A and B are shown apart, each in its own frame.
Chain A
């Protein structure tokens, strides 16, 4: 399968008060079209930094990030990020407005087409009833659903998810993981997902890249036969394997 995204020998370092800090070092991987790829590692391993460089927010100090053979140099609506923070929705727009606005400005869609697309994706995340609500009236889980719907509506080449469920309570978090799997089944959108939760990585990832901390280096890229499963024999086995790699 040809790869959609290739990250080649990427090192990201930036100056701090205590000199140059290297967040990630010599990381390479590639993601195929339609794949769910998880970056897993302890906090501070640079996995979010890596995602930000794929998004185009941070330029790698060395190496390249290529999407369909073109070097990524700036953020753009072909790689939409779903952030962990609940304040990623525009508070001055309704739920509908939050979906319609980027379609108008980033995709130059006409209002009726944008509304139609927005409605379709709000339906997918089950929030049609809240189209006229403002973000502050929603719960954390609902806000993240809106952010996912907004990202999908933009029809990006890939979805970049930066620990989007990390601020949610355990029950909501599980539910969101299931919903994301269902959405992926329906759309087959390529996903790069960052998490520090082993369970989440094994449920979601077709492949899991395990990063070591300080600086972040590739420990292993693991094929996950238990993707989409939870608490099955296969899933537990992969979880144990990941744990072992991380513990080393």
Chain B
């Protein structure tokens, strides 16, 4: 980490600390019922307890597992769609049309249909996750493939590369910045979608995931645990976006000096 980055990090930590102090002060001095708005210390304590009992890690793990399965299926389908789009004109038009149609549709709006088709269970969750990640991932991967520099294509052909060797040796790495940004967008959509979708499970009374944990604790008026659940959602989002994806970018697109400018 460079010095300015370190300083920015320290300032941001200070901002979080100040917000926590203000929160604590407001709940103590304001006389708000802890059932409506628990203090920061109570939330952190509940979070700590829940971590120790393994309750929060368990539910978070459950959410992440379903999310990863959904993203993997979505990713494979995205590859198929992209392959069709790159190789045929109809495929390209199909991809553009369905992406334009489905992109504005929030995945959670499909939950009722999913329940109808797949019932109350993991399958329904996976269905909405696949929907939330498939379109952004396909569109980005496709853009990545069609914007591979002409020169690199010629260089690959000049090496005598054909078929899958050409795809693996030239196209995939050249399109990687776009594929990565598609996966990042896919993750962001999927993480928000799964929390929301699990709430629907909360409504219907079955079990599962951190979203369900939040909903269930609201039902039991464990407001501190509701906050602890929200904190978990935020923390996991930050960890994945700021640690995992940053690390992956440093290892790849930053090192290679190529990015999509996003």
Q: Could you tell me which A residues sit within 8 Å of B by CB distance?
A: 55, 57, 74-77, 79-81, 83, 85, 87-88, 90-92, 101-102, 105-106, 134-137
A138, closest chain B residue (CB): B257
Contact A90 B257 (CB under 8 A): no
Q: Mark B229-258, 1 if CB is under 8 A from A, else 0.
A: 000000000000000000000001001111
Contact B159 A137 (CB under 8 A): no
Q: Which of A57, A77, A83, A92 contacts B159 (CB 8 A)?
A: A77
Contact A55 B158 (CB under 8 A): yes
B255, closest chain A residue (CB): A134
Contact A92 B173 (CB under 8 A): yes
A57, closest chain B residue (CB): B154
Contact B157 A57 (CB under 8 A): yes
- Asked if B149 lies at the interface with its beta carbon under 8 angstroms from chain A, I say yes
16 A-B pairs in the complex with CB atoms less than 8 angstroms apart: A57-B154, A75-B158, A85-B149, A85-B151, A88-B155, A90-B152, A90-B170, A90-B173, A91-B256, A91-B258, A102-B159, A105-B161, A106-B161, A136-B257, A136-B258, A137-B257
Residues of A within 8 A of B227 (CB): none
B257 to chain A, nearest CB (A): 3
Contact A83 B155 (CB under 8 A): yes
- Asked if B31 lies at the interface with its beta carbon under 8 angstroms from chain A, I say no
Contact B152 A134 (CB under 8 A): no
Contact A92 B252 (CB under 8 A): yes
Q: Could you tell me which B residues sit within 8 Å of A by CB distance?
A: 149, 151-152, 154-155, 157-161, 165, 169-170, 173-174, 176, 252, 255-258
Residues of B within 8 A of A101 (CB): 169
Given A85-B149, A88-B151, A90-B155; 17 other pairs, CB 8 A cutoff: A57-B154, A57-B157, A77-B158, A81-B155, A83-B154, A88-B152, A88-B154, A88-B155, A90-B173, A92-B256, A105-B161, A105-B169, A106-B160, A106-B161, A134-B255, A136-B257, A137-B257
B169 to chain A, nearest CB (A): 6
Residues of A within 8 A of B158 (CB): 55, 75-77, 79-81
B173, closest chain A residue (CB): A92
Contact A75 B255 (CB under 8 A): no
Residues of B within 8 A of A134 (CB): 255-257
Give the dominant DSSP class at A's interface.
mixed
Contact A105 B176 (CB under 8 A): no
- Assembled-state Cα–Cα distance A135/B174 (Å): 14
Also in contact, A75 and B160, with CB within 8 A (given A87-B151, A92-B252): yes
Q: Across chains A and B, which 8 residue pairs bring their CB atoms closest together, nearest first?
A: A136-B257, A75-B157, A85-B151, A92-B173, A91-B256, A106-B159, A102-B159, A92-B256
B153, closest chain A residue (CB): A57
Residues of B within 8 A of A81 (CB): 154-155, 158
- Assembled-state Cα–Cα distance A79/B165 (Å): 20
- Assembled-state Cα–Cα distance A92/B177 (Å): 11
A160, closest chain B residue (CB): B158
Residues of A within 8 A of B151 (CB): 83, 85, 87-88
Also in contact, A136 and B159, with CB within 8 A (given A85-B151, A88-B151, A101-B169): no
Contact A105 B165 (CB under 8 A): yes
- Assembled-state Cα–Cα distance A85/B154 (Å): 11
